[in-house]
């Protein structure tokens, strides 16, 4: 049984999809959840009410903006003197076809890298400093199968950001394990969320499912359950590891 009683978990991008599943799973295990959202206030409020305001507090920040990560962390420390786990889940897709004008391509690339890599890295930096003064802590970075096998031709920034996030996770794990600061990455493949279906046709979905040996996408709840487990102290020596959830569509 997963027991997170007395723990505080900050989840970014927590209003829906995988983030919401992580929030539900950690709260069900007894954690207090600091639930970050950017624009989906109504969805975040519904989830807070579902979990219970005593166990879930909302924090708003647009991680596409410079210094938003620092503002979010300040909000979190104000809400909870001790944060035990940071879950960097917030992420975006933004196509960057090579046929696009260079200025448009650069804007798209920079936007994705800001949300998917720079903001999480800044939060990791702040978390490590916080954990050092509290006897340790954990970071769980939600990466992607694309970090290992790449992505579609117009998704260079998404694949690059997720690959870098995995490398960042390994570096944190190696650098701070002696201080009881642990870091894990989770790399889902296609997952049953609204984000997964953006721009997809029925033919696209059939093709995707045909490439997954299990024959179905993972559920967001499956990812949430794994993250909740990583928030415990049961797998400390797996710090630095990346956990794949892709139905054997990519096996390393």
Residues annotated as catalytic are 158
Element (H, E) at 38: none
17-28 vs 41-51: helix crossing angle, rounded to 10: 20
Which residues are CB-neighbours of 99 under 8 A, at least 6 positions away?
none
**Which of helix, strand or coil describes residue 245?**
strand
Q: Are 14 and 47 in contact (CB under 8 A)?
A: yes
Residue with tokens 């909740």: 228
Q: Are 134 and 178 in contact (CB under 8 A)?
A: no
Q: Are 179 and 215 in contact (CB under 8 A)?
A: no
C-alpha separations of 79 from 39, 64, 91, 212, 249 in Å:
20, 22, 23, 42, 40
Measured distance CA(169)–CA(156) in Å, rounded: 20
What dihedral do alpha carbons 64, 69, 74, 78 form, nearest 10°? 70
Which residues are CB-neighbours of 120 under 8 A, at least 6 positions away?
12, 69, 88, 90, 141, 165, 168
Q: Are 86 and 124 in contact (CB under 8 A)?
A: yes
Q: Please tell me the total number of residues recorded for the chain in this structure.
A: 252
């Amino acid at each position: 049984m997963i027991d997170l009683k007395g723990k505080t978990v900050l989840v970014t991008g927590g209003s829906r999809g995988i983030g919401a599943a992580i929030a539900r799973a950690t709260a069900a295990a007894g954690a207090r959840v600091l639930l970050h959202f950017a624009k989906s206030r109504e969805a975040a409020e519904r989830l807070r009410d579902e979990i219970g305001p005593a166990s879930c507090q909302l924090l708003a920040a647009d991680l596409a903006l410079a210094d938003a990560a620092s503002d979010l962390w300040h909000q979190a420390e104000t809400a909870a003197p001790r944060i035990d786990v940071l879950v960097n889940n917030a992420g975006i897709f933004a196509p960057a076809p090579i046929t696009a004008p260079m200025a448009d391509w650069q804007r798209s690339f920079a936007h994705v890298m800001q949300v998917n890599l720079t903001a999480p890295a800044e939060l990791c930096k702040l978390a490590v400093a916080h954990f050092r003064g509290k006897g340790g802590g954990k970071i769980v970075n939600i990466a992607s199968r694309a970090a290992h096998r790449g992505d579609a031709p117009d998704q260079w920034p998404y694949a690059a950001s997720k690959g870098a996030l995995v490398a960042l996770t390994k570096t944190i794990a190696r650098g701070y394990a002696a201080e009881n600061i642990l870091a894990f990455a989770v790399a889902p493949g296609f997952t049953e969320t609204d984000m997964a279906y953006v721009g997809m046709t029925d033919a696209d979905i059939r093709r995707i499912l045909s490439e997954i040996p299990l024959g179905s996408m993972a559920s967001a709840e499956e990812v949430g359950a794994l993250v909740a487990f990583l928030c415990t102290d049961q797998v400390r020596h797996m710090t630095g590891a990346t956990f794949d959830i892709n139905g054997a569509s990519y096996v390393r």
